[in-house]
Structure 1
Amino acid sequence: MATTADDVEKGTVDELADEPEQASRADDDNSLPAVPAGLALSRIPDSQYLLLAFSPTPAHPDDPLCRSRRWKVWLTLLAALLVMLSALTSSCSSGAAPWIQADLGGNTTLPLSLFLLGYVAGPWCWSPLSEAYGRRPFFVLGSLGLTAFLGASAAAPSYGALLVLRFFSGFFGAVPMTNSGALTGDIWHAKERGTAMSFYSVATFAGPALGPIIGSFAAYRLSWHWAFIIPCLFSAALCIAVLFFLPETYPPVLISRLACQLRKETGDERIRSALELAEMKSRGTPRVQRFRAEAWRLLGTPIVMISTEPIVAAVAAFASCCYALIYLLFEGYPVIFSEVHHLGPGYSSLPFLSILVGAIISVPVTLWYQKLYLRDVKREGRHTPEQRLPPALAGGPMIVVSFLWLGWGGYKPHVHWIVPTLSGVLQGVGSVLIFRSMQTYLIDAYERNAASALASNVVTRSIAGALFPLFAPALFHHLGVQWGCTLLAGCMFLLVPVPFLFERYGERLRRRSRFAPGR
């Protein structure tokens, strides 16, 4: 996005301005070379190079912010489908877990947890690398890898092999979970981003809700292998769409391509992009030192952000609790609906549809919040990331109430199973409100480093999502359904104040950040 490119350029210009080297200029170089409409050149202090960037007006056809709305909607839809597929793949094994255990042995929870541990490992690679080399190469690699390992999972010869394959499925499946939000930030202006993120957030929860249903009925009617074959076929179709229809959207990479093209056309070797200048600056250092510095810049950014940025750390904790509670239900729902309410194979996974219904209901709710956001921007005359927070203010209490509802409405067999099932609607709405708000808040707050901020978020929530299901059966069996859900509601209640604190102190925290652009 234009602001993202500006941030990259500003950092590069500042670095180059500090160099003692004084560039020699020819007397006839007082005027800047002509460039196509939509591009702008600027001189860099104490450097012979000219910095290329997109200009606000007129629009350049390669600027993703200036492309047609139809093009943006298509990419948003494709990104949302990739997210839904990845999330669906994560949970499909839980529905087929009894059949997998009967055939291969092992623990019923570990295939889910190993996939989520792949989510932990993947973002450290995919997100920072996408900020250096662009979004498209890693979307392609992630789609191919996920399709291959899903197919291999369907043919796993042993339980150990299945666990390894599940880990690598999560590793490659982490690409859309971390980079789709950044892609959305590339192509939509800040005022429009909230609407696009609404559909992205719905996909985040539609996938986990559908996964157990597909896995359960596929294993019950056919075999557990089909719990992976069906997502594999879906993944193959989306992989073709990515290969042929997903272009590069990261502005600094697009500017680098245009700079290379202009150098060939004009013969002026001074025209450079911010990324090219940063790479040239690093060439003066020894190769080993340069490799270490580049590796730390790319792979260490998410670690540094979650360690030093209060906003990133608190959002990660808030979203992780919400996310982990969803994945805990993959082991909790069988206890409630199979053991307490005696629903049969396959049918005991149908209550997950309530979460999907809640996610769908959240769409008009989030669009209503988007109207309120636009009204606030117009009234205040400026945009701030904190204006994205109101949905999360409502979402947190919804999650707390939904778990109290699930526990105290579902622990008695004589109470109809629809009573605890309906709690999922409230959880679906609350979860999407939280994720839509927090994801957009991170993108707006960190812009150029949005992928790394989102990567930190994905890693922490995936760790929580991998761990919570492991103790879910013991939690409900020892404390009972009602008190187990009350304990979980209490954990979420402790994090409800997070968006309220950001609403008041967020701008002050961003001013102190070295990753957030100036406002």
Structure 2
Amino acid sequence: MQPSRAAPSSSSTVAASDREPSPERPTQDGSKQASRRHDEADEEAADEEGGGKPVDDEEAKRDKDGVRMEDGVPMVGLTGLDDPFSPLRMSNARKWVILLVVSSAAFCVTCCSSMVSLTYDGTAREFGETSLIVMTLGISLFVLGLGIIPQALRTRSPIIAVLLGPLSEHIGRRPIYLVSYGVFIAFNFQVAFAHNLATWLIGRFFCGMFASPFLSVAGGSVTDLWAPDQVASPMAFYTASPFLGPVIGPIISGVINQHLDWRWTWYILIMWSAVEFAALFLLVPETYLPALLKKKAKHLRQQGRSDVRAPIELDERTPLQVVATSCLRPLQILIYEPMALALCTWTALLLGILYMAFSAWPIVYRDHHGFSTQETGFSFTGIGVGIVIGTLMQPVWAIYYGRITKETGERPPPEEHLRKGCWGAVLVPVSLFWFAFTSYASVHWAVSQVSTIFFGIGIILSYQAVFVYLVDAFRPVAASAMAANSAMRSSFACVFPLFTQAMFKKLGTAGALALIAGLTCCILPFPFLFFKYGHKYRKSSRFANKER
């Protein structure tokens, strides 16, 4: 019996709002579901489980406790959707409470990534630092930390395979939530009370690193709680929070730093995080079915059925074995799959530009238009509005994909999901050129602000398209494809803010923005080419799904 899968990563769940029902969703066949939800990076094991022989009717029968024989082992599963251990059994009201808590906690973490952008002046004065590049490390190190552990969780790197991997697989999501968020709060204390720049920067890195496990498993709670035909709206709601957080962070920070000392940014964040931690502790139960089945098996053994086992209890692989089979897979995908490399580069560039904005927007609005710190923070509102609008388009796309399914009798091919990416690929360069040539002090600030709305729409449409395409087109190695994507995105988001100031000083505001817009024009053809020819490429691909 193969082990059960770990929690889906946040980046992969972003795309789940417009995915069709997956065969790997929870079912009454608890052991089969559990085996398919184990570490998604171990695609070979997952392939064997997903493509095995159908279970005949006799074998599928379970007793009153949900136990059936599998390879001579009494394996526990669910008796049905009304099983006390099924997360789908919760009331709709309770599910939405859990969703609100998890989403707001994710929103808090991603706000933290960018709130630092408007604390630079106060922090630099206190620490005696004159280099803005050094101060920008406050963002870059947080994003670097945020990018390390998600890759480890997806690809089972040695560190996390030994530490967090077994923890998340055997005791579920809730302990990861509480431990990760608790340590995140602790390192925010270090940031708030730092007495020198080195302590401050180290604290920022570890804030990001220990917040990342929470983000890596949080989206999985959504797919735990809703059936495939009901998950679209909850998932669209959740996935807006990690995107909105970075653009709302400067707004909050701008208001605080306009009226209070820079340290109050972190005092307030600590209080906010503490409230989120309390809500997670009190209101969010365990929802990860493999962990719940392990709890059920233990309960049955206490009642005298000593031979009953849960699927994850039969995992005999060592971390080294898992690493040997899956650690290098994301790198292999980037090397052997030009289409995956192109799409990963596209989304990485977009995230790099978004984090570049945290240094560029103050130049445009504070230096050119004379905005105050508070007003500069509010200059990010347009991007946030665009992201919300793009998210609210989800029902339209769901209707479109549903119509294709109804007409053809099968799921749309992966390339259909790039249709929205075509819109996003056009909107991003158009909005950036618009912003570049209306950023002069002689042009009213509202003109450039309107362009940022379309930039936000373009970003969210592009991300949704790429995420769902990678999952669908590279389904046999979906987790590794998403890990490769996230690694590139984190790298770009870490590096781009570091050269923003120098580039704007050398090229001028309009020139620097036009250069960035030109770069997005270079990748504009990608979604159109793959939309038209992607199915042909997949037939000769090494890793891609060749069906449909």
TM-score range, shorter chain: 0.7 to 0.9
One-letter amino acid of the counterpart of residue 62, structure 1: F
Q: 1:311, 1:509 within 8 Å by CA — same for their partners in 2?
A: no
Q: 2:247, 2:381 within 8 Å by CA — same for their partners in 1?
A: yes
1:222 maps to what in 2? 260
One-letter amino acid of the counterpart of residue 311, structure 2: A
What are the residue-to-residue correspondences of 1:262-273 with 2, within 5 Å? 262-269=300-307, 271-273=308-310
Q: 2:59, 2:69 within 8 Å by CA — same for their partners in 1?
A: no
Q: CA deviation at 1:248?
A: 2.5
- Pick the aligned partner of 1:345 from 370, 373, 381: 373
**Pair 1:319-2:319 in alignment:** no
The 1:440/1:13 distance shift into structure 2, 3 A limit, reads closer
Q: CA deviation at 1:145?
A: 1.4
Q: CA deviation at 1:94?
A: 0.6
Deviation larger for 466-475 or 187-196: 187-196
Q: 1:324, 1:464 within 8 Å by CA — same for their partners in 2?
A: yes
| Unmatched runs of 5 consecutive residues or more in structure 2 | 1-24, 28-32, 39-43, 53-57, 157-164
The 1:267/1:176 distance shift into structure 2, 3 A limit, reads closer
What are the superposed Cα offsets for residues 149-178 of structure 1, whole Å, 9 maximum, x if unpaired?
Answer: 112211111011100000001101222433
Deviation larger for 158-167 or 365-374: 365-374
% same residue = 26
- Pick the aligned partner of 1:207 from 224, 239, 245: 245
| Unmatched runs of 5 consecutive residues or more in structure 1 | 19-29, 283-289
CA distance in 1, matches of 2:489, 2:347: 7
Q: 1:124, 1:302 within 8 Å by CA — same for their partners in 2?
A: no
One-letter amino acid of the counterpart of residue 138, structure 2: P
- Pick the aligned partner of 1:417 from 439, 445, 462: 445
- Pick the aligned partner of 2:385 from 330, 350, 357: 357
| SS of match in other structure, 1:346 | helix
| SS of match in other structure, 1:41 | strand
What are the superposed Cα offsets for residues 363-420 of structure 1, whole Å, 9 maximum, x if unpaired?
Answer: 322222222223333333333572544332322211111111110111x211111111
- Pick the aligned partner of 2:429 from 400, 423, 427: 400
One-letter amino acid of the counterpart of residue 245, structure 1: L
**Pair 1:123-2:150 in alignment:** yes
Count of residues in Structure 1 that have an aligned counterpart in Structure 2? 491
Deviation larger for 4-13 or 164-173: 4-13
- Pick the aligned partner of 1:41 from 57, 68, 79: 68
1:251 maps to what in 2? 289
CA distance in 2, matches of 1:305, 1:263: 44
CA distance in 1, matches of 2:371, 2:242: 27
Deviation larger for 182-191 or 84-93: 182-191
2:314 maps to what in 1? 277
Q: TM-score, normalised by structure 1?
A: 0.83
What are the superposed Cα offsets for residues 293-344 of structure 1, whole Å, 9 maximum, x if unpaired?
Answer: 2455686665566666667644432222211111101111111112222223
The 1:230/1:437 distance shift into structure 2, 3 A limit, reads farther
What are the superposed Cα offsets for residues 174-203 of structure 1, whole Å, 9 maximum, x if unpaired?
Answer: 224332333333333444443333223321
Q: CA deviation at 1:65?
A: 4.5
Deviation larger for 489-498 or 110-119: 489-498
- Pick the aligned partner of 2:515 from 487, 495, 507: 487
CA RMSD of the aligned region, Å?
Answer: 3.5
2:55 maps to what in 1? none
The 1:179/1:31 distance shift into structure 2, 3 A limit, reads closer
2:11 maps to what in 1? none
The 1:95/1:375 distance shift into structure 2, 3 A limit, reads same
The 1:347/1:14 distance shift into structure 2, 3 A limit, reads closer
CA distance in 1, matches of 2:409, 2:191: 53
- Pick the aligned partner of 2:106 from 83, 94, 97: 83
CA distance in 2, matches of 1:320, 1:301: 19
**Pair 1:293-2:321 in alignment:** yes
